[in-house]
Each structure stands twice: as C-alpha cells, then as structure tokens.
Amino acid sequence: MVRLELDQVVMRRMKEDDIEVVKALIKEGCEGTENRLILHILTRPLCLFILAVFSSILRCLVHSFILALAIPVFLLIVFLKITMPRSTGVLGSSRPYWDYVGSSYRGTQDETLQNPYCRISGKTPVTRKPRRRIGPKEKDKETPTEKVTAEREQSAGQVWVADCEGDIIGCIFRDSERRAGIRRICRLVTGSWYRREGLGRLLVQSLEQRERESGAHRVYAHVPYPSKVAEVFFRKLGYQQLGEGADEEEDDEERKLETAERGFLGHPLTKVFYKDL
C-alpha cells in the first residue's frame, strides 16, 4: 500500500493523450466483476430451473450425466459473455461502450475540480508530465486526431482523472446531461495501490461540488449487483438505494426514468443509488 497525500492530487479533465492509461486503469478495476455478475445470474432460482430442464432433455440425447450438466451451463456462460453490456464492469452505463475520444478535453488550459484538502493543508499540488523519449521516426509521424463534433462531445459526457505528480491514479466518468438538473456517475476507478486512501471519496465529492454549482440537484450512481464494497462506499457518502426511501412517492415519476441495468431473464445487473445535492 502506497501512502497517498490527497492534497497533492490534481483532478483534471482527461485529455486525448490520457486515453490509453485510463483504459488500462479501467481494465484493472473491472477485473473479475463480470464473472461475479455471471455467477450471480446463474445462481438465480429461475435460471437454475431452466438449466435443470435442459439438462434433463440432454440426458436422454447424450447419455452422459456430466455432459448433460456441463453443456447448458457452458452455452449460457458464452451467451452472457456476448450479450452482457461491457459498461457494467464498475458502474453501469446505458451505452455498451464509452466514447473516450469524444469525452476528452480539448481546452488550452486545464479544467480542474476543487480539492478541499489543498485549502486545509495550504499546499499547492504540482503536476509533472512524465518525460518520454521520442525516436526519429516518431518525430516525423503525425498522429491523426478524430473529428469531434459538439453533439458527439455532449453525448460522450466527461471524464475526470486524478493526477498525482504526472501519474493517473484514478478516474471518474460523468454521463451526458440527458435530464435537466440530473447527473449520473457511470464509472469510478482507483488504482490498486491507492485504494482505501480516500481517493474515491475525493473524486466523488469534488465532482458533486462542481455539479451542484452548475445547477444539478441530484446525482445517480449504478453499482454492480454483487459488489458489497461499492454499495457500502456510496452509502457512506450519503447515497440512498432507489426504492428504500419513504418519501419517494412525491417524486415517483422522475425516479422511474432511472432504471437498473438488466440482463438474462430480466435479472438486475446493477443497484441504483441516488443523492440529492
């Protein structure tokens, strides 16, 4: 575990040069989550009943008890791997992929989130870009940049990265603004060496502060169904699971627009949490 000084973390918009690093960070954070979701679906009573029926039919055809059990399970796992949205790795998103290029920041001056720890410590965080040697062939090679329209940038949302002395150690994805005053966190990842250091809390609370100042009054977050750690994390930050509140009847129409991601046989893949700002 690496001791992290939170007052030295700069939370800035992701640039196009950061995309590959962010992808690697997400891949590390998503590891094993998809398999846990598949196991969750396979162990539901209705799913077990369907597998038992198919196994009974195959038992008469293949004359092998082991094959009759293994074939339906194997085929269902393959089906779930193909059809399950890739976005449910960390936090749910309605799109099966994320438009990284469209969400990258193109401003000349870095856009950053406020870091409350800097005011407490009185220190100014320093961001140093890692030096990279450029070969003679790379100097002559031009990197093509995709054309990003205003519509594509709007639909892609925003990605904020936690930068500590030039190293990206975490990121948070904010979905596109589909409803006025409503924001949605669709991914949150921290590096494996910087977990339980308060980095995730810093990213969420800083983004909440920015969205509150921009006029948002509610934030949603989707947590993978089997993830108890993520559920506890958001509850500690003041989030409430959708359907638990006693006063939800007053605002029922708005909350109906936010539904959990669902997979095979309609089984939920995510739990929906919300917080009023």
Q: What is the mean pLDDT of residues 60-89?
A: 81
Higher pLDDT, 247 or 17: 17
Two tokens, residue 111: 């856009």
Contact criterion met (CB below 8 Å) for 11 and 161 = yes
pLDDT at residue number 226: 75
Q: Return the pLDDT at 95.
A: 57
pLDDT in tens, 166-179: 889 899 998 888 88
Q: Which of 162, 156, 132 is nearest to 22 (CA)?
A: 162
Categorize the per-residue pLDDT at 24 as very low, low, confident or very high, splitting at 50, 70 and 90: confident
Helix (H, G, I), strand (E, B) or coil at 164: strand
Distance CA 126, CA 184 (A): 29
Strands (E), 148-213: 158-164, 167-174, 182-190
Q: Which of 42-46, 109-113, 133-137, 193-197 has the highest mean pLDDT?
A: 42-46
187 and 173 in contact (C-beta within 8 Å)?
yes
Determine the pLDDT at residue 82.
80
Q: Mean pLDDT, to the nearest integer, of 195-203?
A: 88
Domains by residue range for the chain, with CATH:
6-39+86-125+149-245+252-276 (3.40.630.30)
What is the amino acid identity at position 132?
Answer: R
Report the C-alpha gap between 59 and 147 in whole angstroms. Answer: 56
pLDDT at 236: 92
pLDDT tens digit sequence for 80-136? 888 776 554 444 455 556 678 888 888 888 888 888 877 655 556 655 555 444 455
Q: Identify residue 103 by its one-letter amino acid code.
A: S
